[in-house]
Amino acid sequence: MTPTTMPLVHVCDCHRLRNILVSNAIIPTKCPVFKEDLAYFFYGRPSYRIGDGGLSSNTPSLFPVCFILNSAYIKNIKRVFPFDTGAFSAGLYKKYIHSTATFSDYIFEPTYDFIRRYVDLFYSSNKNYFNGQATIEKGLIPAMAFELQSLHQMITATSTEEVDDRCYTVEIQSFSDVDISGGAVMAIVLPITILSDPTVSSYLFDNNIEPITYETSRCAPSSLTPLIIDKVRNYYLDEGVI
């Protein structure tokens, strides 16, 4: 049985959260990789890293926020890829991908049905996908399906790697605004200090959105990604998503 469609997630920092609340929408912005205005989402798993150069901070505006969104509200999908294209562009996958390979070699059909079938093929379930546990046997992948071979090698690598979970998290690009009212947002993971802001608390209350909070201390904001992933995992378990 093909897995059900998972929620989408959109990760940003708290400064960007303020802009989103003001506009009441996630609005496409200029993408340095594709050179066009795009809104980025991940399928199910919040693997995006806040760019901080690895430097620690205690500045509230830099801490990550994760929107958990009903996928039915994200339409006008432009492109879908089986990994984070920013990490691809930065060369993080070069050990596994041919030097002449391009984005177009890995582009998916831009539909949720295709994504579900990919998850079913490679992982058998949403839970395995979320946890990065591929179930497909390598011998079942055609010998000249080099792209699938590369994906399988990245996902199943056991040695110490530069590659992280962005290599197996499906990326979805949209060219349209996503209204964050009217049922699109299922829950938000955010710092507990931000929850006290009247604008944030009013938005959550007015739209019946569940806040999922975490404590903060001085750290590199990107280091909080595993914590965000764990918060989302627990939410999915409670909601029967995985």
pTM value? 0.92
Tell me, yes or no, whether 151 lies in a domain: yes
Nearest CA to 66 out of 235, 242, 208, 240 is that of: 235
Tell me, yes or no, whether 18 lies in a domain: yes
Identify the domain containing residue 233 by its residue range: 8-239
Tell me, yes or no, whether 218 lies in a domain: yes
Which tokens in the block code for residue 175? 């060219």
Tell me, yes or no, whether 19 lies in a domain: yes
Quick one: pLDDT at residue 220? 76
Nearest CA to 68 out of 12, 124, 132 is that of: 12
Tell me, yes or no, whether 201 lies in a domain: yes
Quick one: pLDDT at residue 155? 87
Quick one: pLDDT at residue 52? 56
**pLDDT (tens place) for every residue of the chain, 242 residues total:** 889 999 999 999 999 999 999 999 999 999 999 999 999 999 999 987 666 555 566 677 888 999 999 999 998 999 999 999 988 888 888 888 898 999 999 999 999 999 999 999 999 999 999 999 999 988 889 999 999 999 998 888 876 555 677 788 999 999 999 999 889 999 999 999 899 899 999 999 999 998 999 988 777 777 788 999 999 999 999 999 99
Quick one: pLDDT at residue 72? 95
Tell me, yes or no, whether 1 lies in a domain: no
Residues 160-189 as b/e (b if ≥16 CB within 10 A, e otherwise) read eeebbbbbbbbbbbbebebebeeebbbbbb
Quick one: pLDDT at residue 159? 66
Quick one: pLDDT at residue 106? 93
Quick one: pLDDT at residue 53? 56
Quick one: pLDDT at residue 34? 94
Tell me, yes or no, whether 2 lies in a domain: no
Contact 241, 126 (CB under 8 A): yes
Rounded distance between C-alpha atoms, residue 3 and residue 26, angstroms: 27
The domain total for the chain is: 1
